[in-house]
Chains A and B, each alone.
Chain A
Amino acid sequence: MTPPPLARHLLRTRDLIDRRYGEPLDLDALARTAHVSPRHFSRSFRRTFGETPYQYLLTRRIERARHLLRTTEMRVAEVCLAVGFSSVGSFTTTFRRRVGSSPTSYRRENGGPVGADRIPLCAVMAWARQPGDGAFREDSRPSAD
Protein backbone atom coordinates (compact mmCIF):
# COMPACT_ATOMS: atom_id res chain seq x y z
CA MET A 1 0.00 0.00 0.00
CA THR A 2 1.46 3.38 -0.96
CA PRO A 3 1.45 5.96 1.82
CA PRO A 4 -1.22 8.66 1.53
CA PRO A 5 -0.10 12.09 0.30
CA LEU A 6 0.73 14.80 2.83
CA ALA A 7 -2.51 16.51 1.83
CA ARG A 8 -4.46 13.63 3.41
CA HIS A 9 -2.76 14.24 6.77
CA LEU A 10 -3.41 17.96 6.47
CA LEU A 11 -7.04 17.31 5.64
CA ARG A 12 -7.37 15.22 8.78
CA THR A 13 -6.11 18.20 10.75
CA ARG A 14 -8.49 20.54 8.95
CA ASP A 15 -11.34 18.21 9.91
CA LEU A 16 -10.15 18.39 13.50
CA ILE A 17 -10.38 22.19 13.35
CA ASP A 18 -13.91 21.87 11.98
CA ARG A 19 -14.88 19.56 14.82
CA ARG A 20 -13.18 21.34 17.69
CA TYR A 21 -13.33 25.01 16.68
CA GLY A 22 -14.91 25.84 20.06
CA GLU A 23 -11.80 24.77 21.96
CA PRO A 24 -8.47 26.54 22.30
CA LEU A 25 -6.47 24.86 19.55
CA ASP A 26 -2.71 24.74 19.75
CA LEU A 27 -0.59 24.88 16.60
CA ASP A 28 1.87 22.31 17.92
CA ALA A 29 -0.90 19.83 18.63
CA LEU A 30 -2.42 20.39 15.19
CA ALA A 31 0.98 19.85 13.58
CA ARG A 32 1.37 16.57 15.44
CA THR A 33 -1.94 15.41 14.00
CA ALA A 34 -0.54 16.04 10.54
CA HIS A 35 2.77 14.31 11.40
CA VAL A 36 4.87 17.38 10.52
CA SER A 37 6.77 20.10 12.40
CA PRO A 38 4.75 23.19 13.40
CA ARG A 39 6.55 25.43 10.91
CA HIS A 40 6.29 22.94 8.08
CA PHE A 41 2.66 22.36 9.04
CA SER A 42 1.61 25.98 8.72
CA ARG A 43 3.36 26.41 5.38
CA SER A 44 2.05 23.12 4.02
CA PHE A 45 -1.48 23.87 5.19
CA ARG A 46 -1.42 27.22 3.46
CA ARG A 47 0.00 25.78 0.26
CA THR A 48 -2.65 23.06 0.23
CA PHE A 49 -5.74 24.98 1.31
CA GLY A 50 -4.87 28.58 0.46
CA GLU A 51 -4.89 29.94 4.01
CA THR A 52 -3.10 29.35 7.29
CA PRO A 53 -4.55 27.05 9.95
CA TYR A 54 -5.35 30.08 12.07
CA GLN A 55 -7.20 31.83 9.26
CA TYR A 56 -9.11 28.63 8.63
CA LEU A 57 -10.04 28.36 12.30
CA LEU A 58 -11.25 31.95 12.46
CA THR A 59 -13.40 31.57 9.37
CA ARG A 60 -14.97 28.44 10.81
CA ARG A 61 -15.70 30.22 14.09
CA ILE A 62 -17.25 33.21 12.39
CA GLU A 63 -19.34 31.00 10.11
CA ARG A 64 -20.67 29.21 13.16
CA ALA A 65 -21.25 32.47 15.03
CA ARG A 66 -23.32 33.81 12.13
CA HIS A 67 -25.44 30.68 12.24
CA LEU A 68 -26.00 30.93 16.00
CA LEU A 69 -26.82 34.63 15.81
CA ARG A 70 -29.38 34.03 13.08
CA THR A 71 -31.04 30.95 14.43
CA THR A 72 -30.84 31.06 18.24
CA GLU A 73 -31.53 33.52 21.02
CA MET A 74 -28.11 33.06 22.61
CA ARG A 75 -26.56 36.30 23.84
CA VAL A 76 -23.57 37.64 21.95
CA ALA A 77 -21.28 36.75 24.85
CA GLU A 78 -22.60 33.19 24.82
CA VAL A 79 -22.06 32.92 21.08
CA CYS A 80 -18.55 34.29 21.54
CA LEU A 81 -17.65 31.55 24.02
CA ALA A 82 -19.47 28.82 22.10
CA VAL A 83 -17.38 29.37 18.98
CA GLY A 84 -14.07 29.45 20.83
CA PHE A 85 -13.28 33.11 21.55
CA SER A 86 -12.40 34.01 25.12
CA SER A 87 -12.99 37.75 24.85
CA VAL A 88 -16.07 39.52 23.52
CA GLY A 89 -13.89 42.40 22.32
CA SER A 90 -11.74 40.13 20.20
CA PHE A 91 -14.82 38.33 18.90
CA THR A 92 -16.58 41.56 17.96
CA THR A 93 -13.50 42.97 16.23
CA THR A 94 -12.93 39.79 14.23
CA PHE A 95 -16.63 39.48 13.40
CA ARG A 96 -16.84 43.08 12.22
CA ARG A 97 -13.70 42.74 10.12
CA ARG A 98 -14.93 39.62 8.39
CA VAL A 99 -18.67 40.23 8.15
CA GLY A 100 -18.77 44.00 7.87
CA SER A 101 -21.06 44.64 10.83
CA SER A 102 -21.13 43.93 14.55
CA PRO A 103 -22.70 40.70 15.85
CA THR A 104 -25.67 42.66 17.20
CA SER A 105 -26.28 44.49 13.92
CA TYR A 106 -25.85 41.26 11.98
CA ARG A 107 -28.50 39.56 14.09
CA ARG A 108 -30.89 42.49 13.71
CA GLU A 109 -30.49 42.53 9.95
CA ASN A 110 -30.51 38.76 9.44
CA GLY A 111 -33.03 37.33 11.88
CA GLY A 112 -34.28 33.86 11.07
CA PRO A 113 -33.10 31.30 8.57
CA VAL A 114 -31.57 32.20 5.23
CA GLY A 115 -30.94 30.23 2.07
CA ALA A 116 -27.65 28.87 3.35
CA ASP A 117 -29.47 27.09 6.18
CA ARG A 118 -31.14 24.64 3.84
CA ILE A 119 -28.05 23.32 2.13
CA PRO A 120 -25.47 20.95 3.62
CA LEU A 121 -23.13 22.52 6.11
CA CYS A 122 -20.02 21.45 4.19
CA ALA A 123 -21.17 23.54 1.22
CA VAL A 124 -21.78 26.54 3.47
CA MET A 125 -18.40 26.13 5.12
CA ALA A 126 -16.63 25.81 1.80
CA TRP A 127 -18.36 28.65 0.00
CA ALA A 128 -18.49 31.12 2.89
CA ARG A 129 -14.72 31.17 3.14
CA GLN A 130 -12.62 34.23 2.44
CA PRO A 131 -9.14 32.77 2.05
CA GLY A 132 -6.15 35.04 1.91
CA ASP A 133 -7.83 38.12 3.28
CA GLY A 134 -4.49 39.23 4.66
CA ALA A 135 -5.82 39.85 8.14
CA PHE A 136 -3.38 37.48 9.83
CA ARG A 137 0.19 36.55 9.19
CA GLU A 138 1.25 32.99 8.74
CA ASP A 139 2.44 31.53 12.03
CA SER A 140 1.31 34.71 13.78
CA ARG A 141 -0.91 33.08 16.34
CA PRO A 142 -0.39 29.60 17.70
CA SER A 143 -3.77 29.44 19.42
CA ALA A 144 -7.21 30.96 19.27
CA ASP A 145 -8.04 34.66 19.50
Chain B
Amino acid sequence: MLDAVSHVGVWVHDQDEAKAFYTEKLGFEVREDATLEELGGYRWLTVGPPGQPDVNLMLSRPGPPAIDAAATEQLLELVAKGALGPGIFRTEDCRATCKELEARGVELAQQPDERFYGIDASVRDPSGNLWRIVQPIEYDIGNLS
Protein backbone atom coordinates (compact mmCIF):
# COMPACT_ATOMS: atom_id res chain seq x y z
CA MET B 1 0.00 0.00 0.00
CA LEU B 2 1.36 3.42 -0.90
CA ASP B 3 1.10 5.98 1.88
CA ALA B 4 1.60 9.40 0.35
CA VAL B 5 3.08 11.55 -2.38
CA SER B 6 6.32 12.86 -0.89
CA HIS B 7 8.38 14.32 -3.77
CA VAL B 8 7.31 15.89 -7.04
CA GLY B 9 9.81 16.73 -9.78
CA VAL B 10 9.92 20.18 -11.38
CA TRP B 11 12.34 20.89 -14.23
CA VAL B 12 13.92 24.30 -13.99
CA HIS B 13 16.18 26.36 -16.21
CA ASP B 14 18.41 27.57 -13.39
CA GLN B 15 18.44 26.14 -9.87
CA ASP B 16 19.69 29.28 -8.11
CA GLU B 17 17.00 31.35 -9.75
CA ALA B 18 14.39 28.70 -8.93
CA LYS B 19 15.51 28.46 -5.32
CA ALA B 20 15.24 32.22 -4.91
CA PHE B 21 11.78 32.26 -6.47
CA TYR B 22 10.29 29.40 -4.47
CA THR B 23 11.72 30.62 -1.16
CA GLU B 24 11.82 34.43 -1.39
CA LYS B 25 8.71 34.90 -3.54
CA LEU B 26 6.47 31.95 -2.69
CA GLY B 27 7.63 31.55 0.90
CA PHE B 28 8.70 27.92 0.68
CA GLU B 29 11.53 26.55 2.78
CA VAL B 30 14.61 24.77 1.53
CA ARG B 31 14.52 21.13 2.59
CA GLU B 32 17.76 19.95 1.04
CA ASP B 33 20.40 21.58 -1.11
CA ALA B 34 23.40 19.35 -1.75
CA THR B 35 25.91 19.40 -4.58
CA LEU B 36 27.43 15.97 -5.02
CA GLU B 37 30.91 16.14 -6.45
CA GLU B 38 31.04 12.36 -6.79
CA LEU B 39 28.15 12.67 -9.25
CA GLY B 40 29.80 15.28 -11.40
CA GLY B 41 28.37 18.20 -9.46
CA TYR B 42 24.75 17.01 -9.51
CA ARG B 43 22.69 19.25 -7.29
CA TRP B 44 19.85 17.81 -5.22
CA LEU B 45 17.57 20.71 -4.35
CA THR B 46 14.19 20.34 -2.68
CA VAL B 47 11.79 22.91 -1.28
CA GLY B 48 8.33 22.77 0.23
CA PRO B 49 5.61 24.80 1.93
CA PRO B 50 6.32 25.37 5.64
CA GLY B 51 2.98 23.91 6.70
CA GLN B 52 3.45 20.67 4.82
CA PRO B 53 6.77 19.11 5.78
CA ASP B 54 6.15 15.79 4.07
CA VAL B 55 5.70 17.19 0.55
CA ASN B 56 8.77 18.30 -1.41
CA LEU B 57 9.35 19.80 -4.79
CA MET B 58 12.53 18.59 -6.47
CA LEU B 59 13.88 21.55 -8.44
CA SER B 60 16.08 19.84 -10.97
CA ARG B 61 17.97 21.01 -14.00
CA PRO B 62 18.13 18.38 -16.73
CA GLY B 63 21.52 17.62 -18.21
CA PRO B 64 24.10 14.98 -19.13
CA PRO B 65 24.86 12.29 -18.24
CA ALA B 66 21.34 11.61 -16.91
CA ILE B 67 19.69 13.28 -19.90
CA ASP B 68 21.59 13.85 -23.12
CA ALA B 69 22.19 17.34 -24.43
CA ALA B 70 19.56 17.19 -27.16
CA ALA B 71 16.85 15.95 -24.80
CA THR B 72 17.90 18.54 -22.24
CA GLU B 73 17.39 21.29 -24.77
CA GLN B 74 14.00 19.87 -25.73
CA LEU B 75 12.92 19.60 -22.10
CA LEU B 76 13.93 23.14 -21.26
CA GLU B 77 12.20 24.40 -24.39
CA LEU B 78 9.00 22.63 -23.33
CA VAL B 79 9.22 24.16 -19.87
CA ALA B 80 9.91 27.60 -21.35
CA LYS B 81 6.86 27.42 -23.59
CA GLY B 82 4.63 26.41 -20.70
CA ALA B 83 3.99 22.86 -21.86
CA LEU B 84 4.87 21.23 -18.52
CA GLY B 85 2.51 22.69 -15.93
CA PRO B 86 3.34 21.02 -12.65
CA GLY B 87 0.36 21.43 -10.33
CA ILE B 88 -1.92 23.26 -7.96
CA PHE B 89 -1.25 25.05 -4.68
CA ARG B 90 -4.02 25.41 -2.12
CA THR B 91 -4.62 28.59 -0.12
CA GLU B 92 -7.21 29.77 2.38
CA ASP B 93 -7.49 33.16 0.71
CA CYS B 94 -6.61 33.34 -2.96
CA ARG B 95 -7.05 37.09 -3.38
CA ALA B 96 -4.96 37.97 -0.33
CA THR B 97 -2.26 35.49 -1.33
CA CYS B 98 -2.09 36.95 -4.82
CA LYS B 99 -1.82 40.50 -3.46
CA GLU B 100 0.99 39.35 -1.22
CA LEU B 101 2.78 37.67 -4.13
CA GLU B 102 2.41 40.72 -6.34
CA ALA B 103 3.83 42.89 -3.57
CA ARG B 104 6.88 40.64 -3.65
CA GLY B 105 7.24 41.21 -7.39
CA VAL B 106 5.60 38.02 -8.63
CA GLU B 107 3.77 38.44 -11.93
CA LEU B 108 0.56 36.46 -11.93
CA ALA B 109 -0.26 34.54 -15.08
CA GLN B 110 -3.92 34.89 -14.19
CA GLN B 111 -5.63 37.14 -11.69
CA PRO B 112 -8.03 35.54 -9.17
CA ASP B 113 -11.18 34.37 -10.87
CA GLU B 114 -14.32 32.82 -9.40
CA ARG B 115 -14.92 29.30 -10.56
CA PHE B 116 -17.42 26.74 -9.32
CA TYR B 117 -14.75 24.91 -7.36
CA GLY B 118 -13.32 28.04 -5.76
CA ILE B 119 -11.28 31.13 -6.41
CA ASP B 120 -8.47 30.43 -8.76
CA ALA B 121 -5.36 32.25 -10.02
CA SER B 122 -2.05 31.17 -11.46
CA VAL B 123 1.60 32.01 -11.35
CA ARG B 124 4.65 30.92 -13.33
CA ASP B 125 8.06 30.25 -11.95
CA PRO B 126 11.01 31.85 -13.77
CA SER B 127 11.46 28.75 -15.93
CA GLY B 128 7.87 28.77 -17.21
CA ASN B 129 6.20 26.18 -14.96
CA LEU B 130 2.58 27.09 -14.26
CA TRP B 131 1.19 26.68 -10.77
CA ARG B 132 -2.43 27.30 -9.99
CA ILE B 133 -3.37 28.89 -6.70
CA VAL B 134 -6.77 27.69 -5.59
CA GLN B 135 -8.97 28.62 -2.67
CA PRO B 136 -11.33 25.65 -2.77
CA ILE B 137 -14.99 25.81 -1.83
CA GLU B 138 -17.53 23.09 -1.39
CA TYR B 139 -19.81 22.95 -4.36
CA ASP B 140 -22.50 20.86 -5.89
CA ILE B 141 -23.16 21.35 -9.56
CA GLY B 142 -24.72 17.98 -10.14
CA ASN B 143 -23.71 15.27 -12.54
CA LEU B 144 -21.50 16.81 -15.18
CA SER B 145 -20.15 13.71 -16.84
> Would B13 and A8 count as touching, CB distance under 8 A?
yes
Contacts of B101 in A (CB 8 A): none
B30 at the interface (CB under 8 A from A): no
Shortest beta-carbon distance, B104 to chain A, in Å?
17
Select the residue from A10, A113, A122 with max chain B CB neighbours within 10 A: A122
Docked CA distance A11–B83 (Å)? 10
B5 at the interface (CB under 8 A from A): no
> Would A5 and B80 count as touching, CB distance under 8 A?
yes
Given known A8-B13, A8-B80, A11-B81, contact A117–B141 (CB-CB < 8 A): yes
Shortest beta-carbon distance, B84 to chain A, in Å?
11
Docked CA distance A117–B114 (Å)? 10
Shortest beta-carbon distance, A99 to chain B, in Å?
19
Shortest beta-carbon distance, B76 to chain A, in Å?
7
Shortest beta-carbon distance, A60 to chain B, in Å?
11
Interface of B is mostly: mixed
A4 at the interface (CB under 8 A from B): yes
Q: Which of B77, B111, B116 contacts A117 (CB 8 A)?
A: B116
Among B5-42, those with CB < 8 Å from A are: 13-14, 16-17
> Would B109 and A18 count as touching, CB distance under 8 A?
yes
Contacts of A117 in B (CB 8 A): 115-116, 141, 144
A6-40 interface mask toward B, CB cutoff 8 Å, 1 = contact, 0 = none? 11101110110011000000000000000000000
Contacts of A2 in B (CB 8 A): 13-14
Contacts of A113 in B (CB 8 A): 116, 141, 144
Binding site for A on B (CB under 8 A): 13-14, 16-17, 76-77, 80-82, 85, 88, 107-111, 113, 115-117, 120, 122, 124, 126-128, 130, 132, 134, 139, 141, 144-145
Binding site for B on A (CB under 8 A): 1-2, 4-8, 10-12, 14-15, 18-19, 48-49, 112-115, 117-122
